[in-house]
Every structure is written in C-alpha cells, then in structure tokens.
Structure 1
Amino acid sequence: MLYRVSPIAVIGGSFQSGLSGHNFSEAAAAGCAVLTGPHLGHFSRMLAEMKQVDYQSVIQVEGKLELVKSLKQLLSSTELLKSHQKSAKLAFSTVSNGVVQNVWNLVDAQCLQSRQALG
C-alpha cells in the first residue's frame, strides 16, 4: 500500500551484503521509480530481465553517494521521475506476464496426473 503513494522506492536490503537483497517487484508493479543497491542475491535475474525490457526500469547504485545523487536527480525533474516510474511498471509487467498462467498450468498438469494415477 505504501508503494502506491510513494513516487520512489529505495530497496534498503540491497545495500548490505548479508541480507541477499530484497524483492523490488512490488515497488515496480506499483509504479515507483526503483533504486536498488549492489547486493541483489536471487533478484539479480529479475533485474537483468527488467533492464533488458527497459534500461530505465531499475536504477542500481553502488553506495550512499550514488544513491543521494540519483535521488536528487529524480526529485529535481518531474519528467525524469515519471519516465522511471513508467519504465519500472512496464518492465515488471512484461517480465511477469504469464507467470500466473504458467503456475496454473503446472498445478493443473499435476492434478491431472494425480487423477489419472488414482483412476
């Protein structure tokens, strides 16, 4: 819910190596401009896929100075902020397209196999 009212999401867990990153998909889905640090853990694949769709979708920074610089840029330009928000939402939507259908197909296939084994 907070992502819906926030124009920018800084994914804090991605700035500490021991936390293995944090999921930024909810922020992107809500249309936030997403800033993440260097430690993404198993979310690095999602970042690569989203950046392939739209390079502006997630801003990955190395540390505090780069984070502050990026925040200043986003907050000083409404056009830039809106561009990053739109990119994040579009890229996440594109990357996640079909995930639910694929899960249902797998569940259905497993249920069908179970029914056939019982019958």
Structure 2
Amino acid sequence: MDDTPTDAEVACFEAGIKFGSLYHQFAGTPVSPESAPSLETAMEESIENQPHCTEVSVDVKTDALAAALEDAAADYTELTGRFLEVEIVVEYEGQEVLTRMAMEDGYPLMQVVSVRGPDE
C-alpha cells in the first residue's frame, strides 16, 4: 500500500495551511468599517505570499461590523469569523483547489469547494 499523498491531497493540505494562517494571524485584530478595506488588502497580500497560493479574496462584512458597533462603547471591534467571507485558490502540480470560509451555525467553517486537475 502506497501512503504517498496524491497531488490533489497535497493541494488540499496546502489550502488548509493558508486558512489556518489567515484566520489565526488576524483573529482579534481591531477593525472598524473604515479600516476594513485596508485590513482586507493586508490579509489577501500576506496569504498570497505563501507557496502555491494563487488567489485570495477577503471580504470584511462592514454591515455586520456596523451593526455590532451600534451599541458599543468603542468605534471598533475585534475581527472574528462572523465578519469574514474568504476564498483561497491553491495550485499544486496541476491541481487547483478552491476553498471558502463562511459562517455556518455560528462557526466559521472552512471547506474545500472544488478540486480540479489539469484535464478538467
């Protein structure tokens, strides 16, 4: 039995590493509706630096931020998964993996959306 991971499995693993890095690096960052665009850019550009990462799209949900701040004493809050929608594309040895993070049942769920090989 060959336990060597397939190229598709390695690509999925790489995508998981990118999501772990993105989420745990930026969770807790102070954010406001005004600072959200610059934070989106910083998150995208930092993760795109990683090997095999070809595209990162981060959307900080400013409407949700504004709603969370309506009754708050401060004019910022800490970044959590409930304020984020993220897509990451990883390519490894001809395999392209599209991953996405969105809230599901109150939890920021990170999932593989698709895996495509060179012939697909």
- Range into which the TM-score falls when normalised by the shorter chain: under 0.3
The TM-score normalised by the length of structure 1 is: 0.23
Larger radius of gyration, structure 1 or 2?
Answer: 1
Answer 1 or 2: which has greater helix percent: 1
The TM-score normalised by the length of structure 2 is: 0.23
